[in-house]
Amino acid sequence: MYSQGLIGADGRTKEDAAFLAAFQARIDAEEKIEPKDAMPEGYRRTLIRQIGQHAHSEIVGMLPEGNWITRAPSLRRKAALLAKVQDEGGHGLYLYSAAETLGVSREEMTEELLSGKAKYSSIFNYPTLSWADIGIVGWLVDGAAIMNQIPLCRCSYGPYARAMIRVCKEESFHQRQGYEIVMTLARGTEAQKAMAQDALNRWWWPSIMMFGPHDSESAHSEQSMAWKIKRFSNDALRQKFIDATVPQAEFLGLTVPDPDMVWDEGLNDGKGGYRHGPIDWDEFWRVVKGGGVMNRDRIKARKKAWDEGAWVREAARAHAAKRAARKMAAE
């Protein structure tokens, strides 16, 4: 799961105008770009960064939800959550594979994540404090991710688009799983209802921040749109998400923690929509830059798994070399 708010994409490129125009013509004709095709360096770099961030987000995203696998309150929920977190790992894997077609290895990307050089979706730097968080994360965070990921299925880069099709197919159960958890809580005991509202209060704003800075502040966004790496603006997707989510919250009897939220007839080209109150961008940038409560813990957990797994991976490679040698000797 992931959403845009790509931080610092760098689409600068130095090819000549004729090359860039020919490439743009292919993009405009909705032709897919495939791994060995000629492409502007900026296009390649932007994709590596975006797909890498996307993959890292899936992998780091396993941690906050994984935090509740061992405490899931029923066996049915336990199995569903485990399957879901496993899916996130699978999505990370598909995405790393897509990035690898651009000439960067998974190991290199992993090192960039662990060194703090590569970013991931900032939403995962918030802690999951109660079981209701698992429901809310599924409903809102996966919901926001889906808003972003569906258009990515039509992304101009073939391997990324194909990975996203598989991801979207698999993710369709994630949001429903989350919403069902929240619904069960909202219809449950007073304590359960309070748990659900508390989780919504904590996750609402981070969720809508997932779409990234306002379009007016979003650097490099235009180039990504032109190359069809990104197909909708941050604000457009954010609005779509809010319009879909607010009625879902109302249905549950939960209150979106935005006192300024109003229905505005003028939004969405006169079709109307929910106008949200001011977003605390200081908070957003603080967490993006490492100041969230979980930033350090998330990377530490990933680093621990990677470091402690080193001897296992090394053994597998060593054994593979022995097998190959034995096979050779036998022939």
Partner 1 sequence: MAEATALWEVFIRPRNGLSHRHVGSLHAADEVMALQAARDVYTRRGEGNSIWVVPSSAITASDPDHADEMFEPTADKIYRHPTFYEIPDEVGHM
Partner 2 sequence: MSEVFVTALLELADDHLVLGHRLSEWCGHAPMLEEDLALPNMALDLIGAARGLYAYAGSIEGNGRGEDDLAYLRGEREYLNCLLVERENGDFAQTMLRQLYFAGFMEPYWQAAMASRDETLRGIAAKAVKEVAYHIRHAAEWVVRLGDGTEESARHMAEAVEELHRFTDELFLSSPAAAAAEAAGLLPARAEMRGAWEATLRAVFAEARLDWPDAVWPQKGGREGAHGEGLGHLLAEMQSLHRAHPGAVW
Binding site for partner 1 (CB under 8 A): 34, 36-38, 86-87, 90, 93-94, 97, 100, 105-108, 111, 163, 166, 170, 310, 313-314, 316-317, 319-320, 323-324
Give the 3-state secondary structure of residue 285.
Answer: helix
Dihedrals phi, psi of 275, to nearest 5 degrees: -90, 125
* 236-240: long-range pairs with CB below 8 Å, 24+: 237/3, 237/4, 237/147, 237/148, 237/211, 238/208, 238/211, 238/276, 239/267, 239/268, 239/273, 240/147
Q: Choose the contact partner of 108 out of partner 2, partner 1, none; CB within 5 to 8 A by kind.
A: partner 1
> Is there binding between residue 52 and partner 2 (CB under 8 A)?
no
> Is there binding between residue 169 and partner 2 (CB under 8 A)?
no
Give the 3-state secondary structure of residue 273.
Answer: strand
Q: Choose the contact partner of 304 out of partner 1, partner 2, none; CB within 5 to 8 A by kind.
A: partner 2
Stretch that binds partner 2, among 34-42, 71-79, 255-263, 286-294 (CB under 8 A): 71-79
**Looking only at residues 214 through 233 of this chain, which bind partner 2 when binding is defined by CB under 8 A?**
none
CB of 96 to partner 1, least distance (A): 9
In sequence order, which ranges of the chain are alpha helices (DSSP H)? 17-28, 41-66, 75-100, 106-115, 131-136, 142-152, 158-186, 190-209, 221-226, 234-252, 267-270, 281-286, 295-308, 310-330
- Please report, as a single letter, which amino acid is at residue 237: L
Q: Choose the contact partner of 274 out of partner 1, partner 2, none; CB within 5 to 8 A by kind.
A: none
Q: Choose the contact partner of 38 out of partner 1, partner 2, none; CB within 5 to 8 A by kind.
A: partner 1
Determine contact, residues 69/85, Cβ cutoff 8 Å.
Answer: yes
Interface residues with partner 2 (CB under 8 A) are 59, 62-63, 66, 69-79, 82-83, 85-86, 89-90, 92-93, 96, 106, 131, 181, 184, 188-189, 191-192, 301, 304-305, 308-316, 318-319, 322
